[in-house]
Amino acid sequence: MLTVNQLIEEFKLEVIAGQEELSKEISEYSLKRPSAELVGYLKHLSPKRIQVYGRTELGLIQQFEDSVRREHLAQVMVAEVPCVIITRGLPIPHEFVELAVERKIPLLTTHRSTTQLFYLLIRYLTNQLAPSTLVHGVLVDVYGVGVLITGESGIGKSEAALELIKSGHLLVADDAVQVRRVDEENLRGTAPSRIRHLMEVRGLGILDVTTLFGAGAVREEKDIQFIVHLEEWQQEKIYDRLGIDPPQTRQILGISIPEITVPVRPGRNLATIIEVAVMQNRLRSVNRQGTASS
């Protein structure tokens, strides 16, 4: 659950009114700049969205006669609104404060521009409110591709990731990956805060990757585009030896991600195999796109 108070702390917003309602829940990641609603078009009001007022909206409100200004604003600032944010540190008409107190709506202000606030808020809310799940595995950025390495405990996921980091690739998360569905096509992975930038390698213990390899060896988040599943070599199982079989897919939060299975046996350099698998999958994607456009 995301609350108004968390939003205030994240963006250093100033509270003007509604201090007693900061535990109010935010449930939608879309925002509302209610210009059309202020002039009476209420069909798409979406009252559960955060309302943002910049120069345009405040200028519009000032055009109304004093006798009807509050009436127009009252149609928009309904009790379901989680909070109202005034941008650029603009002067706040007294009607805002009155309605915020009366309808128990947190009234906030920031010195950020409306455009900048919109960009930051949408990115933050999308990450916080998107459907999510926790996946056991390691997420690394290999040649700009988000690769989720999965497999049974002890199979060598972290060891393979460590080799990749030594080769210049980036760690996102080890052991547990917080996966969020940020839109209809993309999954974004990050590490839970308590294990961020840390790796557990048997025989070495807990490693701080930023201390060992520098801050440039990690990244906070990455879209998941490819899955490499490690499994113990099975003598009776038939593995692809020609490289012509297309990758299978795995569903995570309703989105299909290409996946290959790599058998693990002594002497195999998993890091190199993963690098080549990423390049091969990227080449296949390019070829598919070329075929589709021709």
CATH code of the domain covering residue 144: 3.40.50.300
User: The domain containing residue 20 runs over which residues?
Assistant: 2-129
pLDDT at 165: 97
């009155």: which residue's tokens? 98
Specify whether 24 is located in the same domain as 90.
Answer: yes
Specify whether 119 is located in the same domain as 225.
Answer: no
pTM of this prediction? 0.71
CATH of the domain at 87: 3.40.1390.20
């604003």: which residue's tokens? 73
Residue numbers in the known binding site for Mg(2+) are 158, 200
Q: Does residue 176 form part of some domain?
A: yes
Instruction: Supply 106's token pair.
Output: 């947190």
- Active-site residue flag, 202: no
User: What residues in the chain have per-residue pLDDT under 70?
Assistant: 238-247, 288-294
Q: Does residue 238 form part of some domain?
A: no
- Active-site residue flag, 183: no
Q: Is the separation of the CB atoms in 178 and 137 below 8 Å?
A: no
Residue numbers in the known binding site are 151-158, 200
Question: Nearest 5°: CA angle at 132, between 264 and 286?
Answer: 55
Q: Can you tell me the distance from the alpha carbon of 131 to that of 76, in angstroms, rounded to the nearest whole number?
A: 29
Q: Does residue 239 form part of some domain?
A: no
Could you say which of 55, 136, 202, 237 is catalytic? 136
Specify whether 100 is located in the same domain as 178.
Answer: no
pLDDT at 294: 54
Neighbours of 121 (CB within 10 A): 21
Phi and psi at 167, nearest 5°, equal: -85, 5
Coil vs helix vs strand at 117: helix
Specify whether 123 is located in the same domain as 174.
Answer: no
Which helix or strand (DSSP H or E) is residue 281 part of?
helix 270-293
Specify whether 151 is located in the same domain as 261.
Answer: yes
Coil vs helix vs strand at 246: coil
Q: Does residue 145 form part of some domain?
A: yes
Specify whether 116 is located in the same domain as 201.
Answer: no
- Active-site residue flag, 43: no
Q: Can you tell me the distance from the alpha carbon of 148 to that of 256, in angstroms, rounded to the nearest whole number?
A: 13
Could you say which of 24, 157, 180, 222 is catalytic? 157
Could you say which of 33, 48, 70, 175 is catalytic? 175
Specify whether 152 is located in the same domain as 264.
Answer: yes
Specify whether 215 is located in the same domain as 84.
Answer: no
Instruction: Supply 12's token pair.
Output: 């250093």
Residue 163 CA to its chain's centroid (Å): 27
Residue where one domain finishes, among candidates 101, 129, 157: 129
Specify whether 80 is located in the same domain as 198.
Answer: no
Residue where one domain finishes, among candidates 94, 129, 164: 129
pLDDT at 244: 56
Residue where one domain finishes, among candidates 107, 129, 151: 129
Q: Does residue 155 form part of some domain?
A: yes
- The number of distinct structural domains making up the chain is 2
Q: Is the separation of the CB atoms in 177 and 138 below 8 Å?
A: yes
Specify whether 201 is located in the same domain as 56.
Answer: no
Residue numbers in the known binding site for ATP are 151-158
């899955």: which residue's tokens? 227
